[in-house]
Chain A
Amino acid sequence: MSAARVGVVTFPGTLDDQDAARAVRLVGAEAVPLWHADHDLKGVDAVFLPGGFSYGDYLRCGAISRFAPLMEELIPAARAGLPVLGTCNGFQILCEAHLLPGALTRNASLHYVCRDQKVRIEQTGTAWTNSFGADQEIVLPVKHGEGRYVADTDTLAALEAGGHVVVRYVGNPNGSMNDIAGIRNEAGNVVGLMPHPEHAVEDLVGAPSTDGLGFFTSILKKLVNA
């Protein structure tokens, strides 16, 4: 069979697209560049929305990107079950696009924070986390100024009750409610998280861990077994 094809989206101001594409290739999948201005998902099997400062984060992080031509294709596809992972700015875009609930706001410290962060994988049933063990603690880098997850009380309760909190901080870096680092949609095909698995995939570079590989092996497993 042909290799699983994972689209990696580039908006103006996207920064981690090369990193994400490399991580996709490292696990043996094909990385397909997707351009914000195209109405074309190029028939990919899954989509990675990488971090950065799309459109300069002007107005509000992710607020402009959600209207990009590519998103007009991506949003219905995600609702129909296409696996989508958004990290950092990608998570912000997923929230702005209402594919995930809640919002990412300015860190409680009011400072950008870049650090190697311990997190716990709490849901292993998603397209992006099925390679991890239950409650497995891993280290991934965080690097953001606006990563504080907030939602209203009902939404938060629903997230917790439904098992939609996928990744939780062990030692909260930004003041996120309930230490939330990442969440999923009802179906589990759409996941957003603030940490960066694509920066923790090689011994030589990036964070002092290769724990991020699990997200990429998960999607590969999901696609190959599909």
Chain B
Amino acid sequence: MTDSVKRAAETPDEPMPYAELGMKQDEYDRVKQILGRRPTGSELAIYSVMWSEHCSYKSSKVHLRQFATKAPKSEALLVGMGENAGVVDIGDGWAATFKIESHNHPSYVEPHQGAATGVGGIVRDIMSMGARPIAVMDSLRFGAADAPDTRRVLPGVVEGISHYGNCLGLPNIGGEVVFDPCYIGNPLVNALCVGLLRKDQIKLATAPGPGNKVVLFGASTGPDGIGGASVLASATFEDESHAKRPAVQVGDPFMEKLLIECCLELYAADVVVGIQDLGAAGVSCATTELAAKGTGGMQVDLNLVPLRDPSLRPEEILMSESQERMMAVVRPSDIPAFMAICAKWDVPATVIGEVTDTGRLVMTWDGEVIVDIPPGTAADEGPVYERPYHEPAGQAALNADTPDRLPRPDDLRATLLRLLGSPNLASREWVTSQYDRYVRSNTVLAQPADAGMLRISEAMAGAEPTTRGIALSTDGNGRYAKLDPYAGAQLALSEAYRNVAVTGAEPLAVTNCLNFGSPEDPEVMWQFAEAVRGLADACKTLGVPVTGGNVSFYNQTGSTAINPTPVVGVLGVIEDVAKRVPTGFTAEGLRVVLLGETGEEFGGSEWAHVAHGHLGGLPPRADLDAERALAAVLVEAARRGLIEGSHDLSDGGLAIALAESCMARGVGATVALTGDPFTALFSESAARALVAVREEAFEEFAALCGDHEVPCSGLGTTGGASLVVEGVLEVPVEELRETHAAALPAIFG
């Protein structure tokens, strides 16, 4: 029997399964108060998904506001937080839109489909801004590399990203792969997509104009991921989680590729008034959000939704997370043109309703009204929680347990090779060779470069030429954030910002994916609050606004949460993409120059982790003024053509940066260090980079560093077949390569 609005009014006391749908008693009471009656099953479905943590940000909202209140003034910001993705002005009439989003829980339950649909979801977010998606990146975290479950999860995740992204024809230009035992039951799969559009062609998720038609297009609706949004994404894992397998959606990248080309043609024909992708919470989310941001009302006949499984009930249709679907608002006169374009691309499209000015979202099923709600109450007026938080009980002891007590190694050559062959620093080729980095032929830099870089000019057919390019990097360090979430978030931003700058691009804007444990745990909530505060403060100091992002809570198994892991993506612009700076030593006879200052900073370091399994003390100091000055030098030096190659210093310090720079093109180097060689080689002080400078350009480059007060020390010269640190170590580049290359294949085959 259909639970209609009429029936709900007649049966006010009928018990509803709000608790099973993840809704609290007081939340349910509020729904009753809003409606003046009990909700129907369909209305309960809508409120339960829209008010879930995943969709409503109810625990994070009060903190995330700092990204707006502390936002630096930026003329580049065209669309800020709150839309499907932020949009920034990259010059010459072009705009870029980019966002990173998590698909953590589904990727643990079903690694291949979980990760694949993570890519699919973020790509549709970018499409719905009116952009052509032009590249993806992935920031991945797994349990210990040699743990049995990692051998289940990692290959599945990589294959899922590989299959979906490759079939879509989007180059994968970078990202991260990190191993730490804390992620064993909660791997992190954060997918980023960047898109390109003309500045004046931004589309928004809005449904204005009474009488305009609501069109659902793309794949048909099936029982995928029903309850996924509220049950999967917002519930803590316990052992029975494997029983939830059917809750993970299944992706069809072929349909998504057709959707991309179809949407771009719809935009070009100017037949779209508003558009929204269907992601978490499917039709519920798209209809309530479009209606809430438009004229305010919408009438939908749910019987018109094309179904893959005809037995689906309206509640299930509303909650289904079937992939590859979009919803557009179209003027009635444009419907024939809209349908013709969809038919050209073999994309099914159906008018399911129209925009009204009633202020109500009304849905019918078999002629009966089953939903009648003010859409804003579901989309924007969800609960907001001021969750209690306090510093974790063990935090002071953790910070007091500094790495000072750890014995320093005698054999620095062996230490270098051990680190270079450790899972976190070894070559990522086992992963990245499964991704197409060349498709669309605009990839200027990709893994293992510090940042991915794309040229703009040829990225869209028929567009005006420009010399510009964009660079992107994502970074995060859960160990740093565990030791100090405020500094950890700032260090994540610093590293991504630096990685963009070393390629010669000027950092412009930020996206973030905040991965944490349960917000109901005050200690986790403290980590979250501190990380957001740190990131917002750092964005202000560095002058790069947050344009959007995503929060993923409940990354914990039982009472054990992951290390707090804010992952930060930075987008930068290079005026002349031909002047990009490649990663590493590009030729013999170049001066090797270290920029920045090195202190004795081993808290949370890769050395402490690999050599001693130690995590304690404080992370390196986040020095934002130094980062800003360093970036200014790098960008200006690239503009003037002063540097031939560069590399940022991060995990594993100078030793790893030197080794990676040598391996990039098989060019060795001989350097001399001052002070304690162990600290010089392995400390992880921030705001540092390595550059290779032509002898005749060195004077001008040193003067530029002086202007910006960036410490600049010549370490030696590139050349030869070995990395030589005078009086300390000597390793043939070939041996570096073998060690670096062997680690992941040894584990994953």
Contact = CB atoms under 8 A, between A and B. Distances in A.
A113 B167 contact: no
Contacts of B162: 111-112
Nearest to A199: B438
Given A12-B254, A13-B254, A143-B166, A205 B433 contact: no
The CB with the most chain B CB atoms within 10 A, among A58, A114, A198, is that of: A114
A12 B346 CA distance: 8
Contacts of B440: 15, 18-19
B441 A202 contact: yes
Contact of A143 (B163, B439, B442, B444): B439
A108 to B, nearest CB: 12
B461 interface: yes
A148 interface: no
B491 interface: no
A16 interface: yes
B167 A56 contact: yes
B438 A114 contact: yes
Contacts of A56: 167, 252-255
Contact of B443 (A52, A53, A198, A206): A206
A111 B434 contact: yes
Contacts of B400: none
The CB with the most chain A CB atoms within 10 A, among B439, B441, B461, is that of: B441
A202 B458 CA distance: 12
B78 interface: no
A16 B435 CA distance: 15
Contacts of A206: 438, 441, 443
A141 interface: yes
B261 to A, nearest CB: 8
Interface of B: 159, 162-163, 166-169, 252-255, 257-258, 345-346, 432-444, 455, 458, 461, 577-578
A41 B433 CA distance: 36
For the complex of A and B, the 8 pairs showing the least CB-CB separation, nearest first, are: A56-B254, A15-B169, A19-B441, A199-B438, A53-B167, A143-B436, A112-B434, A112-B162
A85 B455 CA distance: 27
A174 to B, nearest CB: 12
The CB with the most chain A CB atoms within 10 A, among B168, B440, B455, B577, is that of: B440
B439 A205 contact: no
B345 A12 contact: yes
Contacts of A112: 159, 162-163, 166, 434-436
A13 to B, nearest CB: 5
The CB with the most chain B CB atoms within 10 A, among A57, A112, A196, A207, is that of: A112
A204 interface: yes
Contact of A15 (B159, B252, B439, B443): B439
9 contacts: A12-B257, A15-B167, A16-B169, A55-B254, A111-B159, A115-B433, A141-B438, A143-B439, A198-B441
A201 B345 CA distance: 30
A106 interface: no
A204 B163 contact: no
A222 interface: no
Number of chain A interface residues as a range: 20 to 34
A114 B434 CA distance: 6
B153 to A, nearest CB: 16
Contacts of B437: 114
A22 interface: yes
A38 to B, nearest CB: 11
Given A12-B258, A53-B167, A205 B441 contact: yes
A27 to B, nearest CB: 15
Contacts of A205: 441-444, 455
A52 B436 contact: no
Contacts of B168: 15
Interface string A199-221: 10110111100000000000000
Contacts of A199: 438-439, 441
B436 A114 contact: yes
Contacts of A12: 254, 257-258, 345-346
Contacts of B163: 112, 145
A57 B257 CA distance: 13
Contacts of B257: 12-13, 15, 53
A19 B578 contact: no
Given A12-B346, A52-B169, A143-B166, 6 more contacts: A13-B258, A18-B440, A56-B255, A112-B163, A205-B443, A205-B444
Contacts of A53: 166-167, 253-254, 257
B441 A22 contact: yes
Given A16-B439, A22-B458, A143-B166, A114 B444 contact: no
The CB with the most chain B CB atoms within 10 A, among A58, A196, A198, A205, is that of: A205
B429 to A, nearest CB: 8
A199 B257 CA distance: 20
Contacts of B438: 114, 141, 143, 196, 199, 206-207
Interface string A136-150: 000001010100000
Contacts of A141: 438
Nearest to A52: B169
B43 to A, nearest CB: 37
Nearest to B170: A15
Contacts of A114: 432-438
Nearest to B439: A15
The CB with the most chain B CB atoms within 10 A, among A57, A196, A198, A206, is that of: A206
A13 B262 CA distance: 12
A206 B173 CA distance: 11
B169 A204 contact: no
A30 to B, nearest CB: 15
Interface string A16-29: 10110010000000
A18 B345 CA distance: 17
A34 to B, nearest CB: 15
A18 B169 CA distance: 11
Contacts of B444: 204-205
B461 A18 contact: yes
Nearest to B441: A19
Contacts of B258: 12-13
Contacts of B578: 204
Contacts of A13: 167, 254, 257-258
A204 B469 CA distance: 11
Interface string A78-122: 000000000000000000000000000000000111110000000
A168 B577 CA distance: 34
A13 B166 CA distance: 11
The CB with the most chain A CB atoms within 10 A, among B252, B253, B254, B255, is that of: B254
A198 B442 CA distance: 12
Interface string A36-77: 000000000000000011011110000000000000000000
Nearest to A200: B438
A207 B441 CA distance: 9
A144 B257 CA distance: 17
A19 B439 CA distance: 8
Contacts of A202: 441
A18 B254 contact: no
Contacts of A52: 169
B575 to A, nearest CB: 15
Nearest to A19: B441
A191 to B, nearest CB: 20
A161 B345 CA distance: 44
A226 B254 CA distance: 39
Contacts of B346: 12
Contacts of B255: 56
Contacts of A201: 441
A111 B163 CA distance: 10
Contacts of A19: 439-441
A113 B254 contact: no
B162 to A, nearest CB: 5
A55 B163 CA distance: 14
A12 to B, nearest CB: 6
A22 B167 CA distance: 21
Given A141-B438, A204-B455, A113 B433 contact: yes
